[in-house]
């Protein structure tokens, strides 16, 4: 009997749906020839994810030999013994620019190119379980409905433009999410929100900020509780419509528009000769290659390469030299030429001065054009801005970086026009971040007063800057590690910051006090977040003092924090010099100054302060890695002081821990799994 001849048309009806399960798996979207899979399949018994086979190839084997044998030795003699691979719809869902993909709960995404801690945040088991629920939810609210409401409110039929970049850290979006209640098209990247939570949940002083997280969209007034991961997920939904558009669009283009006539969201691209064209990339290409059609294979290859460069740059942290420059100049004052008005994605090479700037894709295209021109001669590449030279084999995303500071400067009010130029005001930004984030909060200072002073009265005796005694303190910054925790005025402090160059970023050259300790322990700009903090309580008291008409003692004053008023000095008042503020009261807000090495080494451990070292109960004394637990009539009691001292002694020899001043200050021991019979008393999981 003659076997049926199978074709694509008569075989697809027999195929099984994909029967595997992938929780979080990176995969290739291309076959062994580096071409996109076309109708990829597996046998019904295949369990692998690394590779698949195109359906046409499988059917050809069945038609000729009567069976198809997979590399894993599983057989299929009929299309009904095949299943669609997880990549089956990749060509419809993922732009062909991507050679790699990511599967989360069997949902296919384009490849994420972010730093390791962002993927780590997504792979947490609770996060993955919560993400599964989000992916399955059907939301009544979506971006199209938001635009329709905006059209009604604005009473206009003009296109509405928006940026498909994370509101939190300005990276291109991978998994766009929005808070319930937000009525704007802009979204957050889920991984960015999770990392933000991880980095802030370790500080008790930031609990209010997480409980009342204010949406970062500048006109939005929505506040949500993200104080736990569960609450974070309870308050967000995935913007599925935008996700589809992002995955199918060019990752180098962040600007989208809503067309009220077609009711469609469009990327800022051009269609020519049935090919998607990035106008900025094409403009640079045509300077060297006149009248080349968009469908030309050489141009499409060129555009793909430049787009891949842009995607890498817009997704990840810059190389060390560029990142240090961004962190330092984020808080400096400098002049930018007026061309910045027309630049959407400001960029420069790692050797450029910060005032030199060019459109990201135009700069990348310039480097790629040189690579194509010099392919035979292997010449050095020249930056079109600063004209510095780079090795021909340089990986372009390691040479060029995106300036997030300038990208958002107009919206944030840190870029102001001055004649024919613009002035970037990083001083204003630094002051704002001290006032809002990097500080000893009023409530923490009052706790210290309450310990010995029920009336919360304090006498402030240092009214002049410790680094420049001629300057009266206006905005007080406390030196945390100074034995006397002296105060430096912001203006004097900022003058030193403005003098720093990138070469001094890691150099321990900052010193604001002449005491023996501070003289022997200067710190670097990189370590600023661990040394200098805004003193909120002193600032509040000082503001009242400066407003008061009576200044009997200009070198000091006394303030009652309970009644919030200046009072006559009392024998019951407590001098600020005698108040040593506990290390836990200092809230580090300058997280942008902390490099990835710090965040990857320390934040995961700080994220879980209740992590337990488990031990079986076999005697009346239990020794764990961080404590000694001794049984008595009340049950087990822990003594961690000896062990902590030993561990922290070892930490002093650790270069990374020494650099960031990392110490273990507190541990917690718990008994697990119900009650345990002891020689004396009982222990339970509720007893610490």
Asked which of 217, 244, 268 is the last residue of a domain, the reply is 268
Strands (E), 480-625: 487-489, 532-535, 557-560, 565-567, 574-575, 586-587, 621-623
Among 88, 109, 130, the domain boundary falls at 109
Stretch among 63-77, 589-603, 643-657 having the lowest mean pLDDT? 589-603
Give the least confident one: 4-18, 534-548, 584-598: 584-598
pLDDT at 454 over 50: yes
Residue % of the chain over a pLDDT of 90: 51
pLDDT greater than 80 at residue 305: yes
How many domains are there within the chain? 5
Which structure tokens are listed for 341? 């008005």
Do 294 and 420 sit in the same domain of this protein?
Answer: yes
The reply to whether 593 falls in a domain is no
Classify 573 as helix, strand or coil: coil
259 shares its domain with 286: no
Which of 315-329, 488-502, 528-542 has the least mean pLDDT?
315-329
Average pLDDT over residues 34-39: 94
144, 148, 153, 159: CA torsion to nearest 10: 80
Structure tokens at 19: 């029967």
CA distance 251 to 648: 46
445 close to 537: Cβ distance less than 8 angstroms: yes
Dump pLDDT digits (tens) for 73-115: 999 999 999 999 999 999 999 998 899 999 999 999 998 988 8
**596 occurs within a structural domain:** no
> Quick check: 578 pLDDT over 60?
no
Q: Which of 556, 545, 538, 560 is nearest to 455 (CA)?
A: 560
In terms of DSSP H, where are the helices of 531-661? Answer: 536-547, 596-607, 641-651, 655-660
| pLDDT at residue 250 in the model | 87
Is residue 572 domain-resident?
A: yes
| Per-residue pLDDT reduced to its tens digit, 252-297 | 888 899 988 888 898 878 888 878 888 889 988 998 888 888 888 8
Pairing state of beta strands 439-440 and 532-535?
parallel
Least confident stretch, 256-260, 299-303, 364-368, 577-581: 577-581
Residues 111/98, Cβ–Cβ less than 8 Å: yes
675 or 473, greater pLDDT = 473
Residue 653 pLDDT: 65
- What percent of the chain has pLDDT above 70? 81
Angle at 547 between CA 543 and CA 549, to 5 degrees: 145
Q: What pLDDT is stored for residue 615 in this prediction?
A: 43
| Same domain for 369 and 504 | no
Q: Are residues 196 and 310 in the same domain?
A: no
Report how far residue 573's alpha carbon sits from residue 449's, in angstroms, rounded to the nearest whole number.
Answer: 10
- The DSSP 8-state label assigned to residue 18 in this structure reads P
Decide if 648 is inside a domain: yes
Sequence-distant (6+) residues with CB within 8 A of 197 are 210, 226, 229, 232
Mean pLDDT of the chain: 84
- Do 103 and 136 have their domain in common? no
Q: Which of 81, 109, 137 represents a domain boundary (last residue)?
A: 109
One domain, residues 117 and 103: no
The model's pLDDT over 135-182, given as tens digits with 9 standing for 90+, comes to 998 877 889 999 988 888 877 778 888 989 999 988 999 999 999 999
What is the pLDDT, as a whole number, of residue 553? 56
- Please name the residue ranges forming H helices in 55-173: 55-65, 90-93, 116-123, 125-136, 143-154
What tokens were used for 138? 């059907």
Considering the domain architecture, whether residues 419 and 453 belong to the same structural domain is answered as no
Q: Sort strands 457-460 and 476-479 into parallel, antiparallel or unpaired.
A: unpaired
For 621, the domain range is 610-683
**141 and 97 co-located in one domain:** no
> 546-560 pLDDT, tens per residue?
888 655 557 888 899
Q: What is the pLDDT of residue 608?
A: 38
Q: Could you tell me the two tokens for 297? A: 């294979």
Rounded CA gap, 208 and 87, in Å? 44
Any idea what the CATH number is for the domain that residue 290 is in?
A: 3.30.40
The pLDDT of residue 669 is above 50: yes
Q: Quick one: pLDDT at residue 201?
A: 82
Does 376 have pLDDT greater than 80? no
Tokens in use for 679?
A: 């020689």
What local confidence, expressed as pLDDT, does residue 654 receive? 65
Task: Tell whether the model's pLDDT for residue 329 goes beyond 70.
Answer: yes
Closest C-alpha among 672, 668, 681 to residue 635: 681
Cα–Cα distance between 41 and 37 in angstroms, integer? 9
Q: Do residues 279 and 312 share a domain? A: yes
189 and 308 in a single domain? The answer is no
How many Å apart are CA 319 and CA 397, to the nearest integer? 9
Report the distance separating Cα 157 and Cα 480, nearest Å.
56
In a domain, 328, yes or no: yes
CATH code, domain with 97: 3.30.40.10
Using an 8 Å Cβ cutoff, are 536 and 439 in contact?
yes
Q: Are residues 582 and 637 in the same domain?
A: no
β-pair type (557-560, 457-460): antiparallel
Statement to judge: residues 564 and 443 lie in one domain: yes
Q: What is d(CA 110, CA 535) in angstroms, rounded to the nearest whole number?
A: 46
Q: Which residue has the tokens 């009242």?
A: 544
Asked if the model's pLDDT at residue 350 lies above 90, the reply is yes
Secondary structure element (H or E) that encloses residue 347, with its range: strand 346-349
Give the pLDDT of residue 672: 47
Sequence-ordered list of residues with C-beta below 8 angstroms from that of 220, at least 6 positions apart, any chain: 182, 183, 184
pLDDT of 288 reads: 84
Q: Encode pLDDT of 44-59 as tens digits.
A: 999 999 999 999 999 9
Question: DSSP secondary structure string, 425-479?
Answer: EHHHHHHHHHHHTSEE-HHHHHHHHHHH-TT-EEEE---B-SS-TTSBPSSEEEE
- Mark out the alpha helices in 330-408 (DSSP H runs): 360-373, 404-407
Give the HSE-up count for residue 56: Cα atoms under 13 Å, Cβ half-sphere.
3
E-assigned strands of 150-298?
A: 160-163, 176-179, 188-189, 213-214, 223-224, 236-238, 255-259, 264-267, 270-272, 275-277
Could you report the per-residue pLDDT of 590-613, keeping only the tens digit for each? 755 555 544 544 444 433 334 334
Residue 61 CA neighbour count, 13 Å, CB half: 15
| H helices present in 77-142, as ranges | 90-93, 116-123, 125-136
- The DSSP code sequence of 469-495 is TTSBPSSEEEETTSTT--EEEHHHHHH
Mean pLDDT lowest for which of 121-130, 303-312, 397-406, 651-660? 651-660
Residue 688 lies in a domain: no
Question: Which two structure tokens, joined as six digits, stand for 107?
Answer: 């949902």
Position 434 confidence tier, pLDDT thresholds 50, 70, 90 = very high
Report the pLDDT value the prediction gives residue 320, as an integer from 0 to 100.
Answer: 81
Rounded Cα distance between 427 and 499, Å, is 13
Contacts of residue 671, Cβ cutoff 8 Å, sequence gap at least 6: 617, 636, 683, 684, 685, 687
Instruction: Residue count of the chain, please give it.
Output: 688
Does 370 fall in a domain? yes
pTM of the model: 0.76
Q: How many helices (H) and strands (E) does the chain have?
A: 24, 40
- Packing angle, helices 116-123 and 125-136, rounded to 10: 70
- Checking if the pLDDT of 614 tops 70, the result is no
pLDDT in tens, 181-231: 999 999 999 999 999 998 888 765 567 778 889 998 888 999 999 999 999
Question: Is 374 domain-assigned?
Answer: yes
From 518, 559, 506, select the one nearest 535 (Cα to Cα): 559
Would you state the pLDDT for residue 379?
A: 87
Out of 75-79, 137-141, 364-368, 496-500, pick the least confident.
137-141
């Amino acid at each position: 009997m003659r076997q049926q001849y199978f074709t694509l048309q008569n075989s697809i009806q027999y195929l099984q749906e994909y029967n595997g399960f992938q929780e979080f798996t990176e995969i290739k979207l291309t076959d062994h020839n580096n071409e996109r899979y076309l109708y990829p399949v597996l046998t019904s018994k295949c369990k692998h994810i690394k590779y698949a086979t195109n359906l046409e190839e499988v059917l050809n084997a069945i038609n000729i030999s009567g069976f198809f044998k997979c590399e894993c030795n599983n057989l299929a003699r009929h299309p009904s013994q095949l299943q669609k691979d997880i990549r089956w719809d990749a060509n419809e869902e993922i732009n062909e620019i991507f050679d790699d993909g990511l599967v989360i709960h069997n949902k296919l995404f384009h490849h994420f190119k972010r730093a390791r801690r962002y993927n780590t945040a997504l792979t947490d088991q609770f996060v993955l379980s919560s993400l599964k629920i989000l992916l399955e939810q059907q939301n009544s609210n979506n971006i199209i409905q938001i635009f329709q409401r905006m059209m009604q409110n604005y009473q206009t039929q003009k296109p509405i433009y928006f940026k498909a970049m994370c509101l939190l850290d300005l990276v291109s979006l991978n998994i766009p999410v929005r808070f319930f209640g937000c009525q704007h098209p802009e979204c957050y990247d889920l991984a960015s929100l999770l990392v933000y939570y991880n980095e802030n949940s370790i500080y008790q002083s930031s609990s209010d900020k997480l409980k009342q997280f204010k949406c970062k969209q500048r006109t939005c007034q929505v506040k949500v509780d993200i104080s736990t991961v569960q609450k974070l997920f309870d308050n967000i939904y995935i913007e599925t419509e935008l996700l589809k558009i992002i995955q199918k669009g060019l990752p180098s283009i962040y600007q989208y528009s809503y067309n009220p006539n077609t009711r469609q969201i469009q990327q800022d691209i051009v269609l020519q000769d049935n090919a998607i064209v990035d106008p900025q990339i094409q403009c640079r290409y045509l300077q060297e290659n006149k009248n080349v059609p968009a469908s030309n294979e050489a141009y499409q290859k060129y555009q793909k390469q430049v787009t891949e460069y842009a995607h890498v740059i817009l997704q990840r942290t810059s190389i060390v030299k560029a990142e240090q420059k961004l962190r330092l100049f984020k808080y400096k004052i400098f002049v930018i030429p007026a061309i910045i008005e027309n630049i959407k994605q400001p960029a420069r090479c790692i050797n450029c001065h910060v005032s030199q700037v060019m459109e990201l894709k135009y700069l990348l295209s310039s480097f790629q054009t040189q690579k194509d021109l010099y392919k035979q001669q292997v010449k050095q590449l020249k930056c079109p801005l600063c004209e510095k030279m780079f090795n021909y084999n340089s990986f372009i995303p390691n040479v060029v970086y995106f300036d997030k500071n300038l990208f958002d400067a107009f919206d944030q009010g840190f870029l102001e026009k001055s004649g024919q130029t613009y002035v970037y005001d990083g001083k204003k930004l630094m002051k704002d971040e001290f006032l809002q984030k990097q500080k000893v909060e009023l409530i923490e200072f009052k706790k210290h007063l309450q310990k010995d002073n029920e009336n919360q009265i304090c006498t402030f005796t240092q009214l002049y800057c410790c680094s420049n005694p001629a300057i009266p303190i206006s905005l007080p910054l406390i030196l945390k590690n100074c034995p006397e925790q002296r105060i430096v005025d912001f203006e004097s402090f900022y003058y030193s910051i403005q003098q720093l160059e990138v070469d001094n970023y890691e150099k321990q050259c900052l010193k604001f006090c002449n005491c023996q300790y501070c003289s022997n322990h200067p710190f670097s700009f990189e370590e600023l977040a661990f040394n200098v903090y805004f003193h909120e309580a002193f600032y509040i008291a000082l503001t009242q003092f400066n407003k008061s008409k009576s200044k009997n003692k200009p070198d000091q004053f006394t303030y009652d924090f309970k009644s919030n008023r200046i009072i006559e000095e009392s024998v019951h008042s407590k001098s600020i010099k005698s108040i040593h503020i506990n290390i836990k009261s200092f809230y580090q807000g300058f997280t942008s100054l902390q490099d990835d090495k710090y965040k990857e080494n320390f934040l995961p451990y700080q994220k879980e302060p209740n992590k337990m070292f488990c031990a079986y109960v076999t005697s009346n004394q239990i020794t764990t890695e961080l404590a000694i637990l001794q049984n008595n009539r009340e049950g087990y009691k822990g003594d961690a002081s000896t062990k902590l001292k030993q561990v922290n002694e070892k930490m002093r020899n650790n270069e990374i821990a020494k650099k960031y001043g990392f110490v273990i200050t507190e541990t917690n021991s718990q008994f697990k799994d119900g009650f345990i019979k002891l020689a004396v008393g009982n222990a339970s999981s509720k007893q610490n």
